[in-house]
Amino acid sequence: MTDYRKLFDLTGKTAVVLGAASGIGKSSAEALASLGARVLCADRTQEGAEATAIAIREQGGSAAAAGCDAADRAAVEALAAKALRELQRIDIAVTTPGLNIRKTILDYTEEDLDRVINLNVKGTVWFFQAFGRIMVKQQGGSLIACSSVRAVTIEPGLAVYGSTKAAIGLLVKGFASEVGRSGVRVNAIAPSIAETALTGPFKQRPDIYDLYAGHTVFNRWSSADEVATAVAYLASDAASYVSGSTLFVDGGWTAVDGPPTGLTQLAR
C-alpha cells in the first residue's frame, strides 16, 4: 500500500516563502517547517521574516531569513540565488505578497494601477522566472502563488485587484504548461476572508466583518493557518498530479450566490 503519510511529509525538502513576515505567508512558512522542510523566510520587512524564522527555530524547525521586495525583479533574482546557495536545492517556492488599492475604476490613477500590477502580476512573473529556472534545472519543484476569490467574483472597487488575481490564475496555467515536462508543478491558492494583518481593519467594523462572514457557508472567517494547510498540500508529493490549478480555500464563498440561509421557508 502507498505510504500516504509519507506523501505529506516534507522532511528533507527545502522551501522559500516570500511574504513570510505576516498572515498567510507566515503561516505557510510555519506549516512547511512543521512538516519537516528547511525554510528560507523572506519578506520586504527583513525583521519580520527574521521573527518568523526565530519562531520556527524555537519550535524545533529549521529556518533562516532574508529581505526581498517581491516587486523588484533584481531582488527576487538575488533571493533565488541566495536560497540556492544556502539550501543547495529549492523544492518549494511560495509567494504571497499582494496589493489591493480599493478604488473604483473611475478613481484609479496611473500610479495606483502601476503599483498593483507591479507587485501582483509582474512580481508573480519575476518569482516564477527566478525560481522556475532553478527548478527546471534541477528537474523538479513546486511553485505556489497567491490568488483570491476576487479572481472570479467581484464587488465595486476591486476590479483592478481582481483582474490581477485572475491574471495569476492564467500565469499559473501557462507556466504549468511550460515546465511540467521538467517535473515542475505550478499552482495557486485562492482565499476568501482570512484573518491577517491585511484584513485587520475589518475587525474594527463588525458590520462589514459579519457581512463578509455571512458570504461563506460556515458564517465565519478563516485563520491564516487554514489557508497554509492548502499551501502545504500543494507543496507536498501528495499533490504530485496537481498542476495549473487554483485551489479555492474560501469557505464556500464561490459556491453560493443568494441569501445565506436560503429561501426554503418562503418556498414552502
Ligand X SMILES: NC(=O)c1ccc[n+]([C@@H]2O[C@H](COP(=O)([O-])OP(=O)(O)OC[C@H]3O[C@@H](n4cnc5c(N)ncnc54)[C@H](O)[C@@H]3O)[C@@H](O)[C@H]2O)c1
Q: Which residues bind ligand X (CB under 6 A)?
A: 18-19, 21-25, 43-45, 48, 68-71, 96-98, 100, 119, 146, 148, 191, 193-194, 196-199
What's the closest the beta carbon of residue 43 comes to ligand X, in angstroms?
5
Given a contact cutoff of 8 angstroms between Cβ atoms, the answer to whether 120 and 164 are in contact is yes
196 secondary structure, DSSP code: S
Candidate list 4, 108, 161, 209, residue with the active-site label: 161
What's the closest the beta carbon of residue 73 comes to ligand X, in angstroms?
12
Cα–Cα distance list, 174 to 81, 185, 187, 244, 245 (Å): 24, 11, 10, 7, 11
| Residue that the C-alpha cell 459579519 belongs to | 210
Given a contact cutoff of 8 angstroms between Cβ atoms, the answer to whether 222 and 251 are in contact is yes
What's the closest the beta carbon of residue 267 comes to ligand X, in angstroms?
33
Which residue, 19 or 61, has its beta carbon nearer to ligand X? 19
Which residue, 10 or 193, has its beta carbon nearer to ligand X? 193
Residue 252, beta-bridge partner list: none
Cα–Cα distance list, 83 to 36, 79, 80, 173 (Å): 17, 6, 5, 25
Which residue, 40 or 146, has its beta carbon nearer to ligand X? 146
DSSP labels, 111-137: HHHHHHHIIIIIHHHHHHHHHHHHHHH
What's the closest the beta carbon of residue 161 comes to ligand X, in angstroms?
7
In degrees, rounded to 5, the angle at the alpha carbon of residue 158 between the alpha carbons of residues 156 and 159 is: 90
Given a contact cutoff of 8 angstroms between Cβ atoms, the answer to whether 19 and 97 are in contact is yes
d(CA 49, CA 70): 13
161 is catalytic: yes
107 secondary structure, DSSP code: G
Which residue, 126 or 136, has its beta carbon nearer to ligand X? 126
Which residue, 21 or 33, has its beta carbon nearer to ligand X? 21
> Which residues are catalytic, by number?
161
